[in-house]
Amino acid sequence: MASLMRLSVRRAASNVSKTPKRNFHDKLYADRLDYPAPNCRFMKEADLSSDMQALKVKERGDWKALSQAEKKELYRMSFNKTYSEMRAPTGEWKYIIGGVSIALAFSAVIYGFQKAYISPPLPHTMSPEWQEAQLRREIAIRNGPVTGTASKWDYEKNEWKK
C-alpha cells in the first residue's frame, strides 16, 4: 500500500513539472459591462508595433503633452471597445427569433406527421353519437342525483333544468 502511494505521488509530481507555466497574458480578454476593467490589456506587449511601443514610453510622462489621438490610441491598446460600443445593439435578437421560429415550425411538422401517419385512430367512444347515447344512459339510470348529471335533468318535464 505504501509503495502504491509513493508511486502515485511521484507520478503526480512528475506531471506537475511538465505542465506549461501560464503567464499573465494567457487569460482571455473580454469586454464586459459588468466587469469594465479586466486585469489584462487587449493588446499584448509582444504584439505592439514600434510606433505603439514609442507611445507606451510617452505614456509614462505628462498626459497633458499627449494629443487626443494619442490618448485614443492608448485606450485602444488597453481596451477593445468603448462603453457605447459595448451597449450598441448587435442584432442578435433576429437570430434568436429566427431559431425559435424554425424550431417551432419543425415541431409542428413532426406533430402533423405523427398525427397523420403514426397515431392510431380515435376510439369509437369519442364519436358524438356515442357520447349522446352515454348521456341518455346516465340520465336513465339517474347517475349522480346530488351533483352529477341526474341533478341537472328535470325528470318530470324531460328537459334540462334552467
Q: Residue 20: what pLDDT? A: 44
Q: Strands, DSSP E only, in the chain?
A: 153-154, 159-160
Mean pLDDT of 137-160: 94
The pLDDT value recorded for residue 18 is 47
**How many residues comprise the chain?**
162
Tell me the C-alpha distance between 95 and 154, whole Å.
61
Give mean pLDDT, residues 79-104: 93
Least confident of 11-15, 42-46, 70-74, 125-129: 11-15
**pTM, to two decimals:** 0.46
pLDDT in tens, 12-49: 555 444 444 444 444 577 788 888 777 777 888 888 88
pLDDT bucket at 134, cuts 50 / 70 / 90: very high
How would you label 5-32 residue by residue, b for 16+ Cβ within 10 Å and e otherwise?
Answer: eeeeeeeeeeeeeeeeeeeeeeeeeeee
* pLDDT tens for each residue of 100-116: 999 999 999 999 999 99
